[in-house]
Structure 1
Amino acid sequence: MNDAPRVTNEQIDNLIVSEKYHRFPGTTVTVCCLTLRNGFNTIGESACVTASAFDEEIGRRIARANAREKIWALEGYLLRQMLHSASPTTY
C-alpha cells in the first residue's frame, strides 16, 4: 500500500462551506462560486450550446464540478509546498 501524502476527495469536500449559483439572464451560462473555510473562493462555469437544450440542474452540476476541480490544484500545491519545506533536499 502506498502511504504517500495525498489530497483526498473527503478533504476537498470538507473545505467547502458554501456554494452560490448565478445564471446570466438570456444566456445558458451558469456560474458556481464555492467558498472555502479560509474564505477563498473558486469559480466554475458551464454553458449549453442551445437554449432549448439548457437544463438548470445539469448546468449547476457542471459549474460546481469545475469550481471544485480548481480546489484540487490549490490543495496539491499546498501539500507539495509543505513537503518541500519539511524536506532537507530541494526538488
Structure 2
Amino acid sequence: MSKDEAAIESEIQAKGLTAPRLTPEHIDAQIVSEAFHVFPGTTLTVCALTLRNGFQVTGESAATSVSNFNEELGRKIARDNARNKIWMLEGYLLRDFLHQMTPERIKRRSQLYRDACHMNGVTHLPDDTVVQLVLDDARRYPV
C-alpha cells in the first residue's frame, strides 16, 4: 500500500464510510505471482501480475534516457502500473456482485441452494449457512 493509499484509507475510515468497497489489502490479496522482463537494448520493463483466478495484468515502464535507466526503479513503476489495473477489474466485479444482490435475487438463490441440497439428500441447512453459501457464490453463478 502506498502512502497515498494509506492516507485515503485513513480518511475513508475516519469518515465512517462503511458501504462495500475495495481496499488496498483486497487488491494486494488478488496477486499470487509476478514476473518481469526488460527488453534487451531498451529501457522498457514489463511486469505481469498473475491474479488468484489465473488472469494476468501487465504494466510497463520506460526511461526516456538510457543513462537514467535503473532496473529496480523500472520494475517498481511497471508493477505499480499493473497493480493499478486491478482496481478497475475488481471494481467491476464488486459492482456486478452488488447488482446481483437484490432481495429478489437473494431469495431465488436461497431457493436454488435449498433445492440442490434436497436433491443431494441434505434435509436441513441452517438459514445462516444458506445465506453464506449464497453470498460466497453470487459472483460465480449469476441468476
Greater C-alpha Rg: 2
The residue type paired with residue 30 of structure 2 is: L
More strand, by proportion: 1
Question: How far apart are residue 86 of structure 1 and its match?
Answer: 1.2
- 2:51 is aligned with 1:36: yes
Which structure carries more relative contact order (alpha carbon 8 Å, separation 6+)? 1
Matched residue of 2:41: which SS? coil
Q: 1:72 aligns with which of 80, 83, 87?
A: 87
Secondary structure in 1 aligned to 2:64?
coil
Tell me how far apart the structure 2 counterparts of residues 6 and 25 of structure 1 sit (CA, whole Å). 41
Counterpart residue type for residue 46 of structure 1: S
**1:60 and 2:68 equivalent?**
no
Corresponding residue SS for 1:39? coil
- Identity score, percent: 64
Question: How far did residue 57 of structure 1 move?
Answer: 0.7
2:98 to 72, 83, 87: 83
Unmatched tracts of structure 2, length 5 or more: 1-15, 104-143
Q: Report how far residue 74 of structure 1 moved.
A: 0.2
- Shift in Å, 1:87: 2.9
1:5 counterpart = 2:8: no
Instruction: Name the Cα RMSD after superposition.
Output: 0.8
For 1:18, give the aligned amino acid. Answer: S
Q: Which runs of 4+ in 1 moved over 6 A?
A: none
What TM-score comes out, normalization by structure 1 length? 0.93
Structure 1 gaps of 5+ residues are none
TM-score by length of 2: 0.60
2:45 aligned counterpart, secondary structure: strand
